Amino acid sequence: MKKLLLALFAFLLAMTPQAKSVDDAPLKLVQSVDLPNYSGDFDHFAVDLDGKRLFLAAEDHGTVEVFNLNSGTKMRTIEGFEAPHSFLFMPQADRLLVTDSGKGLSKILDANSFKVIKTVQITPGADSIGFDRGAHQLYIVTGGKDVQMDHSFLSIVDPVNGKHLGDIPFDANHVEAMAIEQSGQRLFINVTDQNHIAVVDKNKRQIIDRWPVNECQQNSPIALDEPNHRLFVVCRKPGMLVVFDTSTGKSVASLPAPERADDVAFDAQRHRVYITGGEGYIGVYQQKDADHYELISKVPSAVGAKTALLVPQLNRLYVAVSPGEGKVGAKVLTFQVE
């Protein structure tokens, strides 16, 4: 009887899925850079591959931080902002556009001297961006509750010279991140206070459809798998990943996600989705096919690690750890994508 029980135990142990070792994890922490004396939140990143620089918006600190991509060390601090949020780095024009939700408005900088070349004259409250590479047009979310407005705009700008090309109005005070078709004519944007995705025709410059997010609330980060017609929408209440078919506007999958997420990235090479959440881990999801997804790992990060940038050329995921107002522990984490 004892031998039979031992044999049964061995069989069950062999059939039980084993936890992945650290070496098998899809993300491996390779660098952590402390940023002492920072409080509040960080926002988004941008990268200069040729110049080996990483830019980070220190939103509540009112600065832009510049890091060396190789060593991770901080190279310099750029001052003169109120609340920087997002970047567009333009290597051919040698320009860096920084969105700033403060009254000083967004600015275009010389990418070497960091001197202000142009102030972008659009509605205050500039935040999230999306870049249409074919049309060379930048879309910037403006207005909304952060500047005491009950409506918002999607402002269209020539990012090189800062010319304001037009606005798309939204009857909403909280409009968040967007994803843009580079081969098509649509733009998808989270209208957070109304719990839907607005579909914008870039040529007509108007909203042509609205897709409700029924599974969850506070839809904010967003990413696009354009070849497979899939849109990844992340909610904060509760933390959830919802996958939409952009051909039908219907959701095809939903999975639990990290709480307080502020970024989602789609890794086209590995068919993965990475979601950074403020509760202290990165959710890694495997795309089995366009309609089926699996949470394959919860990679430890840090409390407040909400924003991130995937750089496929380097197989790196950069994560900003926001310490929260009045607290310490700000960091930039670098993960190797395995």
Section 205-209 average pLDDT: 98
pLDDT at residue 140 greater than cutoff 60 = yes
Q: Count, in order, helices (H) and strands (E) of the chain.
A: 1, 28
| Radius of gyration of the chain, Cα coordinates, nearest whole angstrom | 21
Across the chain, what does the average pLDDT equal? 93
- In three-state secondary structure terms, 192 is helix
Closest C-alpha to 67, from 51, 81, 79, 82: 51
- Specify the pLDDT at position 326: 67
pLDDT at 21 over 90: no
Dist CA 295 CA 63 (whole Å): 35
Q: According to the model, what pLDDT value does residue 8 have? A: 37
Residue 7 reports pLDDT greater than 90: no
pLDDT at 67: 98
pLDDT for 39 equals 86
Query: Which of the four pLDDT bands, split at 50, 70 and 90, describes residue 195?
Result: very high
Q: Quick check: 188 pLDDT over 50?
A: yes
- In tens, the pLDDT along 239-287 reads 999 999 999 999 999 999 999 999 999 999 999 999 999 999 999 999 9
Q: pLDDT at residue 328 above 80?
A: no
* Lowest-pLDDT choice from 5-14, 48-57, 167-176, 262-271: 5-14
Looking only at the bridges linking them, the beta strands covering 261-267 and 250-256 are unpaired
What does pTM read for this prediction? 0.92
Residues 210-241 pLDDT 10s: 999 999 999 999 999 999 999 999 999 999 99
Q: Mind listing the pLDDT tens digit for each residue in 301-323?
A: 999 999 999 999 999 999 999 98
Q: pLDDT tens digits for 77-131?
A: 999 999 999 999 999 999 999 999 999 999 999 999 999 999 999 999 999 999 9
CA dist 158 and 23 (Å) reads: 45
Own/partner long-range contacts of 98-107 (Cβ < 8 Å, ≥24 apart): 98/57, 98/64, 99/126, 99/127, 99/128, 99/129, 99/140, 100/126, 101/125, 101/126, 101/127, 101/146, 101/147, 104/80, 106/140, 107/80, 107/81
Comparing CA positions, the residue from 302, 270, 304, 262 lying closest to residue 286 is: 270
DSSP 95-130: EEEEEE-STT-EEEEETTT--EEEEE-S-S----EE
Selected residue with higher pLDDT from 13 and 323: 323
CA angle 171, 139, 307 (to 5 degrees): 95
Query: Is residue 81 helix, strand or coil?
Result: coil
238: cis peptide before it, omega within 30°? Answer: yes
